[in-house]
Amino acid sequence: MINVSFWNIVFTVINLLILFVAFRIFFFKPIANIIAKRQQEANEIYDNAAEKESQADELKKEYEQKLVSVEEEKKQIISDARKSADSQYQKILADAKEDARNIKDAAVVEANQEKSKIIAGAKKEIADIVVDATTKVVGSKTGADIDSSLFDEFLGKAGE
Amino acid sequence: MSLAEELIEELNCETVFTIHLGGLEIPVMESVVVTWIVMAVLILIAFILTRGLKTQNISKRQAFAELIYEKLTGIVGSMLGEEGKQYTGYLTTVLLYIGLSNVIGLFGFKSPTKDLNVTVALAIMSIVLVEAAGIYQNGVRKWLHNFTEPVAIVTPFNILDVFTRPLSLCMRLFGNVLGAFVIMELLKIVCPPVIPAVFSLYFDIFDGLLQAYVFVFLTSLYIKEAVE
């Protein structure tokens, strides 16, 4: 109990050192290693995530820029289309006006022709009627042709 | 056999066998053999706990191993401070060794810490570690100079400290384990069977683990002081 034995102390010291080394090998080292490894893995994951995030940000910016350019392009196209539609419209309108004028002109000409034809017809009719009437009134049919021409002359003067 | 004889027989540390090395006769005492058992148990547990370690999807066993590791090194490391971190491993080992040695009496073995030689060895190692840490950290000159701190007049006491510290460490541990053992033996004889079980919780388990903690706590305190 109280007797101090040199060998006992030596043995205990050796035992403790062996236990310490064994614990280093079998307990502290492996667990410290695995914890460090896990930490490293976690760090890698975080780094990867940060990298991916920055990549995503870049892509986002890129797409936003693209979107802006697309918007501009859209505006351009629309304005182009509007312009071309406008000119098309103007052209069509001009064409239509032109057509309308042509038609109107043609109609006027035709109407005039018709009118002069009708007037001519009417003149002839009236002349005939007048001649007939004159003939009847005069009672003679001779010299009717001369009278007809005289009447024509008269009518022509009166009409103007 | 009288009570005194029985106690003495329990307290005596017998030589289990003797190694003959040339002309040298090396006695191997009971406490050394029990220490081997303690070591075997501790190493076996450590070995089993650290099989198949993984970084992800860890087993319950690994979680337990990591918990023990984190807690023990956390406690000891915080006592040692930032400068003395590298001594955590040794002190944790000592904590486990003394702790298991103190409670191994419950399993029918004689506690190695009930043998003065074991506590002497532990105390010697502690003081060697303390002084070595001081020399390693500060260099021989500053280490020697520290004996005259804070004033020159305390130098003899500081030198005395080198001897009283391990002495107090060793005697405290030995005395507590011995005292607890004697009280428990007396209780077992005087009032069996229930009351000793209750006291056993305190003397065998709580006091045993507490003394392990105190030993490591004081050693780490000395180391912390030495490396500052």
Which residues of chain A neighbour B87 with C-beta distances below 8 Å?
A: none
CA distances in angstroms from B16 to A101, B12, B187, listed in the order given: 138, 12, 29
ipTM: 0.86
Percentages (nearest 5) of helix, strand, coil residues in chain B: 80, 5, 15
How confident is the model at residue B226, as a pLDDT? 85
**A41 touching chain B per CB within 8 A:** yes
Kindly report whether the peptide bond that precedes residue B193 is cis, defined as omega within 30 degrees of 0.
yes
List pLDDT tens digits, range B14-46.
777 777 777 777 778 888 888 899 899 999 998
User: For an interface test with A, which of B93, B119, B122, B182 has the most A Cβ atoms less than 10 Å from its Cβ?
Assistant: B93
In chain A, count of helices (H) and strands (E)?
3, 0
Q: Do A8 and B29 count as a contact with CB atoms less than 8 A apart?
A: yes
Beta carbons of B227 and B133 less than 8 angstroms apart: yes
How confident is the model at residue B147, as a pLDDT?
83
Average pLDDT over chain B, rounded to an integer: 85
> What pTM value is reported for the model?
0.72
pLDDT band at A97 (very low <50, low <70, confident <90, very high): very high
Asked if the peptide bond before residue B192 counts as cis, ω within 30 degrees of 0, the response is: no
Nearest-CA distance B93 → chain A (Å): 6
- Please give the average per-residue pLDDT across B130-135, as a whole number: 89
pLDDT at A7 exceeding the cut of 60: yes
Mean pLDDT for the stretch of residues B89-115: 87
With cut-offs at 50, 70 and 90, classify the pLDDT of residue B104. Answer: confident
Kindly give, in sequence order, each residue whose CB lies less than 8 Å from that of residue B5, ignoring residues fewer than 6 positions away: none
Residues A107-139 have pLDDT tens digits of: 999 888 888 888 888 888 888 888 777 777 666
* Residue B27, strand partner residues: B18
Q: Rounded to a whole number, what is the distance in Å from the CA of B47 to chain A's nearest CA?
A: 6
Give the pLDDT score at A79.
Answer: 92
Cβ neighbours for B154, distance < 8 A, ≥ 6 positions apart:
B148
Cα separation, B14 vs B80, in Å, equals 37
| Average pLDDT for B123-129 | 90
Evaluate if residue B50 carries a pLDDT over 90. Answer: no
pLDDT at B74 > cutoff 80? yes
Let me know: does B114 contact B177? Beta carbons within 8 Å.
Answer: yes
Average pLDDT over residues B49-68: 84
| B201 pLDDT tier (thresholds 50, 70, 90) | confident
Pairing state of beta strands B15-21 and B24-29? antiparallel
Residue B22 CB-density burial (10 A; 0-12 exposed, 13-18 middle, 19+ buried)? exposed
Instruction: Find chain A residues with C-beta within 8 A of B12's C-beta.
Output: 1
A83 token code pair: 């312009």
- Three-class SS state of A150: helix
C-alpha separations of B197 from B187, B188, B194 in Å: 9, 9, 6
Q: Which residue of B has its CA nearest to A1?
A: B12
Please state whether the peptide bond connecting residue B156 to the residue before it is cis, i.e. omega within 30 degrees of 0: no
